[in-house]
């Protein structure tokens, strides 16, 4: 790969607000630092649990907390960043008196953290929105208001994927210099796919439309779909979405009878919304099964929602199944 378009060169070639560029570069630095923490976790005694429970009632890993601290420490330098909303922190962290146009950063510092101890891929996810008016401390905006979204995948290589609403671009962290270099310009989700991702151990909890969809995929050539499907589940949303962005597929973490009271599993503001923006800008679709994820009016910073996203034709099929199951004649 001879293209040496660095993240900085890429971000400064258009007319992005310099303060947004500043923030994106800080996020990239935080991700580079988290990649190092993850890689050196075993040497520094940072694998395993932290004996702490986060706002979601989940056991925090030591690296969940360290990754959160890196985001906070590095991004707090950004002059127009007004607030941070993190998976690991219950309250919104205000950094300054909010002024119209200031940025709001929503992030999942370490996603898929159950994979840490078994040395499989994890990542970070983020979204950026803006303060609507001077003094406005509302951070609960719908996903259509995201000005930027992205993720970093800490896999065999560290890759940062982001969109400012135009194209989706991927930057690989160069092992020698630490630069993020453009390696995946204009990423597109292939529209047709024969691969799905869902935690099938939850089959007994699923609603009829999800069962129907998965059962039809599993039935292969003999079933309604008349072709064979493949299944993958890494339990790391970032890894899952990166695979779908690269070779197509559909990802489901639906509401089911076991998680419906909580709203689903994945969090709207820093998991579902940013991934929905990336997938949609790459030509895919993102839905709860009943409507676009990015149209949801949030009710809280840690709200959970059902998530179906990926190749457009499969998401549309799933929405159709949900609509049919919901109609009076069913
Ligand atoms: O363990 P399950 O039920 O398969 O859930 C896996 C899902 O949970 C998550 O790990 C949740 O993310 P966190 O690790 O940030 O809590 C997703 O990345 C993944 O898709
Ligand atoms: Mg997560
Ligand atoms: Mg997390």
DSSP string, 95-146: -S---TT-EEEEEEEEESGGGGGGT--EEEEEEEEE--STT-------GGG-
First-residue to last-residue Cα distance in the chain? 54
Helices (H) and strands (E) in the chain, counts: 7, 17
Quote the ligand 1 centre to 170 CA distance (angstroms).
22
CA atoms within 13 A on the CB side of 213: 31
Per-residue model confidence (pLDDT) at position 46: 80
Ligand nearest to the CA of residue 241, numbered in listed order: 1
Query: Do 163 and 277 form a contact (C-beta atoms < 8 A)?
Result: yes
Determine if residue 99 is labeled as part of a ligand binding site: no
**List of E strands, the chain:** 49-53, 59-61, 81-86, 93-94, 103-111, 122-130, 148-154, 158-163, 168-173, 180-184, 195-197, 230-231, 250-253, 266-267, 285-287, 304-305, 307-310
Per-residue model confidence (pLDDT) at position 3: 63
Specify the pairing of strand 285-287 against strand 307-310.
antiparallel
Determine if residue 113 is labeled as part of a ligand binding site: yes
Single out the residue of 319, 324, 307, 301 nearest to residue 105, CA to CA.
301
Same CATH topology for 7-184 and 195-326: the answer is: no
Quote the ligand 1 centre to 17 CA distance (angstroms).
33
Round the CA-based radius of gyration of the chain to a whole number and report it: 19
Per-residue model confidence (pLDDT) at position 122: 97
199 lines ligand 1 (CB under 6 A): yes
pTM value > 0.80: yes
Per-residue model confidence (pLDDT) at position 51: 73
Per-residue model confidence (pLDDT) at position 54: 75
Quote the ligand 1 centre to 294 CA distance (angstroms).
20
Q: Which two tokens stand for residue 208?
A: 């009829």
113 lines ligand 1 (CB under 6 A): yes
Quote the ligand 2 centre to 238 CA distance (angstroms).
8
Q: At the topology level of CATH, where does 195-326 sit?
A: D-Maltodextrin-Binding Protein; domain 2 (3.40.190)
Token pair 């970093």 is found at: 152
**Nearest alpha carbon, ligand 1 atom 9:** 112
86 lines ligand 1 (CB under 6 A): no
Q: Where are the domains of the chain?
A: 7-184, 195-326
Q: What is the ipTM of this complex?
A: 0.97
Residue 108 alpha carbon, nearest atom of ligand 1: 15
254 lines ligand 1 (CB under 6 A): no
Ligand nearest to the CA of residue 265, numbered in listed order: 1
What are the residue ranges in the chain where pLDDT is below 70?
A: 1-3, 328-330
Residue 291 CB neighbour total at 10 angstroms? 11
Quote the ligand 3 centre to 208 CA distance (angstroms).
29
CA–CA gap between residue 92 and residue 272 (Å, rounded):
18
54 lines ligand 1 (CB under 6 A): no
Per-residue model confidence (pLDDT) at position 27: 98
Query: Do 54 and 64 form a contact (C-beta atoms < 8 A)?
Result: yes
Residue 265 alpha carbon, nearest atom of ligand 1: 8
Quote the ligand 2 centre to 329 CA distance (angstroms).
38
Ligand nearest to the CA of residue 64, numbered in listed order: 3
Strand partners, 106: 85, 127
**Nearest alpha carbon, ligand 1 atom 14:** 112
Per-residue model confidence (pLDDT) at position 41: 84
Per-residue model confidence (pLDDT) at position 320: 98
3-class state of residue 36 by DSSP: helix
Instruction: Name the superfamily (CATH) of residues 7-184.
Output: Fructose-1,6-Bisphosphatase, subunit A, domain 1 (3.30.540.10)
Per-residue model confidence (pLDDT) at position 191: 86
Determine if residue 265 is labeled as part of a ligand binding site: yes
């Amino acid at each position: 790969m001879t293209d040496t378009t660095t993240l900085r060169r890429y971000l400064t070639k258009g007319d992005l607000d310099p303060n947004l560029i500043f923030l994106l570069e800080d996020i990239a630095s935080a991700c580079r630092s988290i990649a190092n923490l993850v890689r050196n976790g075993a040497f520094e005694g940072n694998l395993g649990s932290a004996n702490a429970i986060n706002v979601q009632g989940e056991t925090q890993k030591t690296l969940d907390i360290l990754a959160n601290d890196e985001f906070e420490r590095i991004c707090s330098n950004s002059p127009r960043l007004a607030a941070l909303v993190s998976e690991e922190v219950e309250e919104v962290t205000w950094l300054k008196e909010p002024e119209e146009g200031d940025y709001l950063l929503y992030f999942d510092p370490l996603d898929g953290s159950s994979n840490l101890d078994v040395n499989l891929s994890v990542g970070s996810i983020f979204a950026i929105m803006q303060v609507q008016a001077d003094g406005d401390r509302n951070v609960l905006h719908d996903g259509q208001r995201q000005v930027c979204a992205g993720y970093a995948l800490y896999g065999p290589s560290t890759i940062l994927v982001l969109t400012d609403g135009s194209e989706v671009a991927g930057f690989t962290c160069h092992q020698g210099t630490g630069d993020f270099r453009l390696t995946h310009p204009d990423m597109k989700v292939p529209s047709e796919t024969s691969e799905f991702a869902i935690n099938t151990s939850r089959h007994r909890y699923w609603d009829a439309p999800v069962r129907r969809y998965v059962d039809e995929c599993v039935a292969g050539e003999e079933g309604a779909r008349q072709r064979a499907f493949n299944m993958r589940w890494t339990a790391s949303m970032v890894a899952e979405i990166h695979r779908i962005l690269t070779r197509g597929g559909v990802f489901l973490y639906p509401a089911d009878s076991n998680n419906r009271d909580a709203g689903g599993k994945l969090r709207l503001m820093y998991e579902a919304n940013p991934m929905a923006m990336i997938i949609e800008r790459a030509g895919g679709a993102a839905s709860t099964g009943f409507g676009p994820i990015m149209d949801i009016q949030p009710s809280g910073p840690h709200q959970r929602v059902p998530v179906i996203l990926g190749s457009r034709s499969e998401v549309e099929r799933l929405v159709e199944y949900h609509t049919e199951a919901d109609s009076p004649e069913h």
